Amino acid sequence: MRKFQLHIFSAALAASVLLSCNSMSSGPQPSVPLTKQQIEALAARAKEPQLNGIIIYPSENGPVFGGVWHMHESEVAAINFPAIDSDRAPIVSIGTADDRLNALLDTSSPLTWATLPAMAKMDIKLIKSPTLLGARPTHVYNSFGGFLGVASHLNVDQISIGNALFYVLAASGPLGTLSRGLDSANISVVFGVDMLKAFNHVQFNFPAQHVVLSASSDYQPSDAKLLASIPLIVTNSGIVVAGSMDGSPTNFVIDTGGDYAIALPPGRPAGKIQQVSLDDLVMRDLPGVPGSDLALGQITMPRIGRQALARFKMTLDFRAKKIHFEKP
């Protein structure tokens, strides 16, 4: 895997932004919004997306991007979760042992995010978007927008990706709430659903503590271990499935980034959830926590977090548009 070359900003003001990030101590630091002048200096460097072979199409649900997240169909990577946080979150490393960035796989994040220092290490080039700051996080509370950018080449383990699309947080310092409380893991990148859905399937094996990213052949779950196969819905809220909670039909967001069992929307008090049903898969006696207590953003439906998913091998089968839950 090639070592990322440091991209040197040509704008002096943008360079000062990176300097302020790199001069911070190694401990958790607050994110500090960029000034208007810093934002304008960075935005002035944005190029037309067509120069990278990217086409932006408008839609009712926001911009749609063509020409992004390229990879070879034969590529597969099985990656162990690193033992760098207490609950072993689905984190993958980008780069080499000497120059490594940690990326969280978050199925509740519609978009992929990076810090300013990560932008430099991955040689992300800013591209023009319909608005100055291309997007804002919606799955967590975060007041910072992001610059739209593209990395022409990115390696994730053995997988080579072309035209990887990022939103670079318009703040100095860490990702803040986007890193989902994983301060000790030093998260610099969040891979969201826009990246994950480029694969044929993505498998989170929580008991075995590893993830499989596959652009290869179709996935066939084991009949002996299959607990449920249910429709997978890609929405602006992330990965969504239909089910029921305490007997009432509802949709759920699948949240691999969240260290909780069930996050509740406004109006539902904290307390034990007697039963969550996803087709034939039944989970009982799950603690429910208000989403506002977890710094979650636009929570219009319950979310299922890692504490509830921890017993399963969960495969997001984007080609078949199914989520398979299996025994490990």
169-180 pLDDT, tens digit per residue, is 999 889 999 999
Together in a domain, 133 and 247: no
Torsion angle, alpha carbons of 240, 243, 249, 250, to 10: -20
pLDDT score, position 94? 87
The band of 242, judged by pLDDT with boundaries at 50, 70 and 90, is very high
pLDDT, mean of residues 225-238: 96
113, 178 Cβ separation under 8 angstroms: yes
pLDDT > 70: percent of the chain: 89
% residues pLDDT > 90 (the chain): 71
Its pTM surpasses 0.85: yes
Domain region containing 152 = 12-214
Q: Which of the four pLDDT bands, split at 50, 70 and 90, describes residue 137? A: very high
Q: Strand locations in 246-302, DSSP E?
A: 248-254, 262-264, 271-278, 281-290
Cα–Cα distance for residue pair 87/306, rounded to 1 Å: 9
Residues 111 and 233 in one domain: no
| pLDDT tens track for 96-123 | 666 789 999 999 999 999 999 999 999 9
**Domain co-membership, 176 together with 140:** yes
Q: What is the pLDDT of residue 15?
A: 45
Residue 135 and residue 167 in contact, taking contact as beta carbons nearer than 8 Å = yes
- pLDDT score, position 2: 38
**Residue 73 pLDDT class (50, 70, 90 cuts):** confident
Quick: pLDDT tens for 197-214: 999 999 999 999 999 999
**Cα separations (Å) of 109 from 87, 236, 238, 239, 293?**
19, 8, 6, 8, 18
Mean pLDDT of 135-151: 92
Question: 56 and 87: one domain?
Answer: yes
pLDDT of residue 148: 95
Residues 243 and 205 in one domain: no
Same domain? For 147 and 61 the reply is yes
Using the CB atoms, write b or e for 192-205: b if 16+ within 10 Å.
bbbbbbbbbbbbbb
Q: Do 230 and 209 lie in a common domain? A: no
Helix (H, G, I), strand (E, B) or coil at 285: strand
pLDDT in tens, 40-68: 899 899 999 999 999 999 888 788 999 99
Residue 82 lies in a domain: yes
Domains: count for the chain: 2
Residue/partner pairs of 100-103 with CB below 8 Å, 24 or more apart? 101/188, 101/189, 102/185, 102/186, 102/187, 102/188, 102/189, 103/156, 103/187, 103/188, 103/189, 103/190, 103/191
Q: Quick one: pLDDT at residue 80?
A: 93
Helix (H) or strand (E) run with residue 9 in it: none
- pLDDT range class, residue 83, cuts 50, 70, 90: confident
pLDDT, residue 28, reads: 54
Q: Is 244 left (phi over 0), alpha (psi -120 to 50) or beta?
A: beta
Assigned domain for 41 exists: yes
* Average pLDDT over all residues of the chain: 88
Q: Of the residues 180, 214, 248, which one is the last residue of a structural domain?
A: 214
Q: Are residues 60 and 126 in the same domain?
A: yes
* Final residue of a structural domain among 214, 244, 275: 214
CA 269/CA 117 separation, integer angstroms = 40
